[in-house]
Amino acid sequence: MTDTMAVPAASLPAVAPVSQTDGGSYRVHAYAFSAPAFLLLFATVIAPVFVVLIVSLTNYKLGHASLSFIGLGNYARLLQDPYFWNALKNSAIYTSIVVPISVGLALIIAALLINRTRSRRFYEVIYFLPVTSTLTAMSIVWSYLLNGNIGPLAKLMTSLGMKPFDFLADGDLALIGLAVIGIWHLLGFNLILFLAGFTTIPKELMDAAQLDGIDSFWDRLRYVIWPLIAPTTIVVVAISCIQAFQAFDTVAVLTNGGPYGATEMLLYKINQDSFIGLKAGYGSALTVIYLSLIGLFSIFQILASNRKVHF
Amino acid sequence: MHGRGIKIANVRKHFGGSEILQGVDLDIQPGEFLTLLGPSGCGKSTLLRMIAGFDQLSSGSIHIGGRDITQLPPKKRDVAMVFQSYALYPHMTVARNIGIPLEMSRLSFRQRLPGSRLLSRHVRQTYREIEQTVAKVADQLDLKHLLDRKPAQLSGGQRQRVAVGRAIVRQPSVFLMDEPLSNLDAKLRTQLREEISDLHRRSGITFLYVTHDQTEAMAMSSRVALMQSGRIVQCARPQEIYNRPSELAVARFVGSVAINELPVTVVNGQVLLAQRALNLRAPEAPDGSYTLGLRPESLDAVPQGGDADFTLPLLHVEFSGSEVTLRCDGAALGIDRIRIQMRAERFDRLRSDGGIDDRVALRILAQNALLFSSSGQLMPAPLKVAEAGR
């Protein structure tokens, strides 16, 4: 009895250090292997965010040698700045035009495409082409298409006896003009996401729906497709919101925020204030606001897609 | 509810270069329970999907109750279907899953919009009627306490019953089932098999059932249509399929223990196995080589040294409750194994009085023996016991 008791007691201390060093070296290895990724992420994403946060609390101007901390002064000024509110409003309007239309249209086109067998590939390529193109270059083409004097749209409207729209020069229409280009650019991407989402709908379920009388296009969309791709829809909406809030290329190339600030959006204003106006501190405060809005969309997406949603 | 007959005439289906159905003819009587049985890829599911209207025919026609439905959309064919995956709507409650076919057929798109219930008395009334019908169906299928659940909260058997509920709520005249039991465990399968048979008897609907499980087919059907590579090989009552299979392929597919196949020759009506005469005569078969098909119960163990056809070394004994399956080494007969099945008590008796030791003496029961030509066709004339000594 005493013998059997003695054996484990003696062997225990011998075993324990071995397992400890094993665990220790495993941990060291784990950190060593993840260090490059962590350092890269820190240097390129996390550190800049902190730098922006700190700069936003200063009156730093690009090119100046000195700066002083002014606390929340930039943020107080920002709330008083009518141009900030104008840019935020324009971004919101732009997003609320681009997101519903690009998502809704992509869903409908995707629902039309799932039953095509041979022509589906062709349409996928056609709709995806704008995504692969350079928006800056394509903006030039669009500026011609939408031009009120020489553009084909204006010519068409004149020939129909209507007064032609001059999209990008008219203060009331310029934002809509940019939104049209934004939708064109985003549609193909959303379409591909929806088509990928459709592959999760079982074929037997679509057959059963046909037998149950759910066989018209709108009924299928309403009772089967739309509820079953709710998780995909949330991802698509969140990504589209982020994309729409990032609208910059078209503004910079086509309108420069004009006419009279009608198309000045958040990212463009940040660029103007920081690099043209050289007010880095103020620009950083704008960037912090911009980042927190984008962050909100991402958090919404993560929360929603973690649950299994059915509408 | 009452069933209608289905008439399938010369139905063909090409897909790409291959012919999946090679001219299928089938006449299903009203109220019949017919099973399409066959290995996977034989075209049985394709045929079912064409009757439901999901796939187009390459040629041929399908009539239900005398009406040509070949070109009609699925919902107008008066058929209901239970799918292998049940295909329930995951976002709808059990009640809604069962009621949706009625909702779709009785209300227009506008009447089904949210809020129309508040505006129209007719819509309210219709929804109330649908609710009552659903409750009645749920009662029949013992689903009443589950009506508010979603499919994800149900067990496999319950889901299967919801799928049946959704199918019978429309009172179809033809009921199609595509391997509805294959996702369930063995015990539940047997139970639901009985429930489906009961449902068929009670409702009087025509059932067309697709399976690759021959036990299921044998147990439930009034007739079995055995399919192989795109054609119906034999369509007959289960007993006939088992006892008089028209081809060797049918004989191989049917039966829970595989049939024994012995290479034999016939000379002057006498059946010879490995140059030795068996106690069998095939009076109408021309001389030549044949395959003798013997079901495991068509071989009888007899006391050794008696009038056995052959004696073989015993390899393995397998008990399955009331039955015993013996596996013998068939090398002496030119085949790998011979399987014999007998009642457990008979096996015990033979074992105790020395009829079975490490060797078994076997005698062929002539009335159940099957003779197939070299191309695999059953020779129509039954075999006889050789009367005179050999």
Measure CB to CB from residue A215 to each of B75, B80, B166 and give the nearest one.
Answer: B75
Count interface pairs A-B at CB distance under 8 A: 64
Specify the pLDDT at position B387. Answer: 63
Cα B114 to Cα B302: distance, rounded to the nearest angstrom = 77
Q: Which two three-digit tokens encode residue A120?
A: 């589906």
By mean pLDDT, which of B13-22, B84-93, B202-211, B239-248 is the weakest? Answer: B13-22
Contact B63/A at CB under 8 A: no
What does the mean pLDDT of chain A come to? Answer: 82
Alpha carbon B321 to chain centroid distance?
24
Q: What is the DSSP letter of B42?
A: S
Q: Determine the length of chain A.
A: 311
Own/partner long-range contacts of B269-274 (Cβ < 8 Å, ≥24 apart): B270/B386, B271/B371, B271/B383, B273/B309, B273/B310, B273/B333, B274/B332, B274/B333, B274/B334
Nearest to A74 by CA among A48, A51, A55, A47: A55
Pairing of strands B370-372, B288-294: antiparallel
Percent of chain B with pLDDT over 90: 50
Chain A hits for B81, CB-CB cut-off 8 Å, are: 207-208, 211
Contact B102/A at CB under 8 A: no
Minimal C-alpha gap between A298 and chain B (Å): 25
Work out the average pLDDT over A178-189: 89
Name B325's bridge partners.
B318, B341
Specify the pLDDT at position A11. Answer: 43
By mean pLDDT, which of A251-255, B60-64, B209-213, B284-288 is the weakest? Answer: A251-255
Contact A223 B89 (CB under 8 A): yes
pLDDT digits (tens, 9 = 90+) for B257-293: 889 999 999 998 888 888 888 888 888 888 999 999 9
Show the CA angle centred on residue A292, arms to residues A289 and A295, nearest 5°. Answer: 155
pLDDT at residue A144 above 90?
no
Contact B101 A227 (CB under 8 A): no
Measure CB to CB from residue B54 to each of A207, A224, A310 and give the nearest one.
Answer: A207
pLDDT at residue B52 above 90?
yes
Position with higher pLDDT, B302 vs B80: B80
pLDDT digits (tens, 9 = 90+) for B121-141: 899 999 999 999 999 999 988
Name B265's bridge partners.
B272, B289
Cα A152 to Cα B188: distance, rounded to the nearest angstrom = 69
pLDDT at residue A5 above 70?
no
State the ipTM, two decimals. 0.80
Specify the pLDDT at position A138. Answer: 85
Asked if residues A216 and A112 have their Cβ atoms less than 8 Å apart, the reply is no
Contact B73/A at CB under 8 A: yes
> HEC profile for A33-93?
HHHHHHHHHHHHHHHHHHHHHHHCCECCCCCCCCCCECCCHHHHHHHHCHHHHHHHHHHHH
Work out the average pLDDT over B379-383: 85
Return the domain boundaries, chain B: 6-243, 257-385
Measure CB to CB from residue B91 to each of A204, A211, A227 and give the nearest one.
Answer: A227
Chain B hits for A223, CB-CB cut-off 8 Å, are: 89, 100
Percent of chain B with pLDDT over 70: 99
Query: CA dihedral defined by B364, B369, B374, B379, rounded to 10 degrees?
Result: 140
Highest mean pLDDT among A11-20, A72-81, A157-166, B66-75: B66-75
Query: In this structure, what are the phi and psi dihedrals at residue B64, rounded to the nearest 5 degrees?
Result: -120, 125
pLDDT at residue B102 above 80?
yes
Class of domain B6-243 as given by CATH: alpha beta
Specify the pLDDT at position A298. Answer: 86
Chain A hits for B52, CB-CB cut-off 8 Å, are: 207, 211
- CATH architecture group of domain A76-306: Orthogonal Bundle (1.10)
Specify the pLDDT at position B95. Answer: 94
Return the domain boundaries, chain A: 76-306
